[in-house]
Homo-oligomer: A and B are copies of this chain.
Amino acid sequence: MGTRRRGEELERAILLAAAEELRESGYAGMTMDRVAARAGTNKNAIYRRWPHRAALGIAAYRHLSDAAMPAPDTGSLRTDALEMLRQANETWSSPHGAILRGLLAAAADDPQLIALMRERSGVDTMDRAWLTMLERAVTRGEAPAAAVHPRVAATPMMLLRAEYAMRGIPSVPDEVLVEIVDEVFLPLVRGHS
């Protein structure tokens, strides 16, 4: 009788269900049975599409956030950088961030999954934003041209991530962000002369 969903439609339904489970219970609490039930289907349909739970988790994660994150342009490198870090901190502190961290932890020993995560979680987008931020600072005469370097651009976010890993709590106090900017990022930019 009625409508039996197939292909695209069913796939979207599964991803939606998985995303909702992620939101409610985090990755650790997302079970295949619950996703199947919620999508009104069964595990077969899922396993035909994704080889295992982690893959589904990653695929579903993108439904939660597509995180554009344009580079802020406040006219000063310091406030730009702070703004970026604050936004990132907020994102990572949010439920989304908790899920993301759960996924990262789960994927930790599987390079394939890590690669997938990188694409999905917009690490590279982020780095590009930092680079354009630096370029603008250079044209304003606020920074030496030599400071426009991928590793310089990536440093603040890496420090923030490491901070999460070390604390295990999903929110870094604002002082830490300020310190990262004032004691590391700005001196680092200055030092490139």
Interface on A for B, CB 8 Å cutoff?
Answer: 26, 28, 101-102, 104-111, 113-115, 118, 123, 149, 151-152, 155, 158-159, 161-163, 165-169, 179-180, 183-184, 186-192
- What is the minimal beta-carbon distance from A27 to any residue of chain B, in angstroms? 9
Q: Are the CB atoms of B28 and A184 closer together than 8 Å?
A: no
Copies in the complex: 2
Could you tell me the distance between the alpha carbons of A186 and B191 in the complex, rounded to whole angstroms? 8
**A161–B167 contact, CB under 8 A?**
no
Closest B-chain residue to A159, C-beta based? B158
Q: Which of A107, A108, A115 has the most chain B CB atoms inside 10 A of its CB? A: A108
| Distance A9 CA – B174 CA, assembled complex (angstroms) | 48
B residues near A186, Cβ cutoff 8 Å: 191
Contact A118 B183, beta carbon cutoff 8 Å: no
Q: List the B residue with the shortest CB-CB distance to A107.
A: B168
A149: chain B residues within 8 A (beta carbon): 183
Q: How far is the CA of A179 from the CA of B111 in the complex (A)?
A: 23
Contact partners of A188 in chain B: CB under 8 A: 184, 187-188, 191
Chain B residues, CB < 8 A from A123: 166
Q: How far is the CA of A187 from the CA of B190 in the complex (A)?
A: 8
Q: Nearest Cβ distance between residue A146 and chain B, in whole angstroms?
A: 9
Q: Are B102 and A166 in contact (CB under 8 A)?
A: no
